[in-house]
Amino acid sequence: MFERNSGIPIDLGWVSRSCVNEQAVKGRIQDLLSSRFVHPDHQIDWLARSIQCIDLTTLAGDDCPSNVERLCSKAASPLSDNVIGSLGINHGLLTTGAVCVYPARVANACQGLKRIGTNIPVASVATGFPTGQTSLKIRIEEIKFAVKDGAKEIDIVINRELALGQKWGELYNELVEMRKACGESHMKSILAVGELCNLTNVYRASLVAMMAGSDFIKTSTGKETVNATLPIGLVMCRAIRAYNRKTGFKVGFKPAGGIRTSKDVIQWMTLMKEELGDEYLTPELFRIGASALLNDIERNIASHITGDYFLAEEMPMA
Ligand SMILES: O=C[C@H](O)COP(=O)(O)O
């Protein structure tokens, strides 16, 4: 275990001095993709490990108790019994990192997980997700509502207007208020990187979110035009590393939005391993926000085990 990030007073000098060389970021990602491979013999282990880091998500307008219950069952038993048996893992030991739902569905998720008898945490998006376009008062109330209903993790969205206007002090103050409203529940700050215009803003927003006490920084809501990309992920990982060196606090990273395939997951895990080290490849410090990824992982693990090719529709719905 490690100490939770309590945040630090805002350091505006550090924020405004920080600039990102976009060409160097692209070069580093190209180098990573061309020089680091996971040996096929180890891919099953990596994929099984990735499942523990998934925030299994449903964020649809037609979410209702029954589909949230199904999501909870899938989170508690992400792989079929025969696949689990072949991996030599005891049933019930492999679960996703969390279940992620809208605030109105937190109570359903908590009940569903309790019925199954698992302590998988419920995460909830809040603060006017995905845009945050409402008053601070209402955004704070929404956090409190989700916490009261049992959410142990709150995925808040940052105010993009403040970030784009370089109003870092104001953004920090909003985030500090949100962190207070989260209480013991962990705050995962969504930067909505696709709307931040450039990588320097991504780096600066990452620093401000961590200074305000975020437990995780997260790329995207999944609703922006550009969501999680590896260059953006690299910039956020570097900010996490710099913050850790300066303060000693470890802040987690959550790429989210458009992550659909086993190949994507292995690339994200490679980035984490190379940039932050193995200790960050745990559910405490790494999550993948995804609504449509588990099916592909299960299909790949089943294919590795049996040597047969499976169609997506042959797998139970993820
Ligand atoms: O926070 C999680 C994202 O909404 C998931 O995005 P996705 O639906 O593209 O997987």
CATH class of 12-314: alpha beta
Pick the atom of ligand 1 nearest to 260's CA: 10
Helix residue ranges per DSSP H, 183-312:
199-211, 230-247, 262-276, 294-306
Q: What is the pLDDT along the chain (318 residues), one digit of tens a residue?
A: 789 999 999 999 999 999 999 999 999 999 999 988 888 778 888 999 999 999 999 999 999 999 999 999 999 999 988 788 787 776 678 999 999 999 999 999 999 999 999 999 999 999 999 999 999 999 999 999 999 999 999 999 999 999 999 999 999 999 999 999 999 999 999 999 999 999 999 999 999 999 999 999 999 999 999 999 999 999 999 999 999 999 999 999 999 999 999 999 999 999 999 999 999 999 999 999 999 999 999 999 988 887 776 766 666 654
- CA–centroid distance, 81 to ligand 1, in Å, is 26
Whether the Cβ atoms of residue 213 and residue 13 lie closer than 8 Å to each other:
no
List CB contacts of 122: < 8 A, sequence separation 6 or more: 98, 99, 100, 101, 106, 109, 110, 113, 150, 151, 152, 153
For this structure, is 250 an active site residue?
no
Furthest CA-CA distance within the chain: 57
pLDDT tens digits, 79-111:
988 788 787 776 678 999 999 999 999 999 999
Which of 74, 188, 218, 250 is labelled catalytic?
218
**Top mutation candidate among 153, 193, 220 for ligand 1, by most atoms within 8 Å of CB:** 220
Q: Is the CB of 57 under 6 A from ligand 1?
A: yes
Pick the atom of ligand 1 nearest to 59's CA: 4
Task: Compute the distance between CA of residue 261 and CA of residue 288 in angstroms, rounded to an integer.
Answer: 12
In the chain, where are the structural domains located? 12-314
Task: Compute the distance between CA of residue 269 and CA of residue 280 in angstroms, rounded to an integer.
Answer: 9
Q: How long a stretch of residues is the chain?
A: 318
Q: What is the ipTM of this complex?
A: 0.96
Handedness of CA 178, 253, 285, 155 (dihedral sign): positive
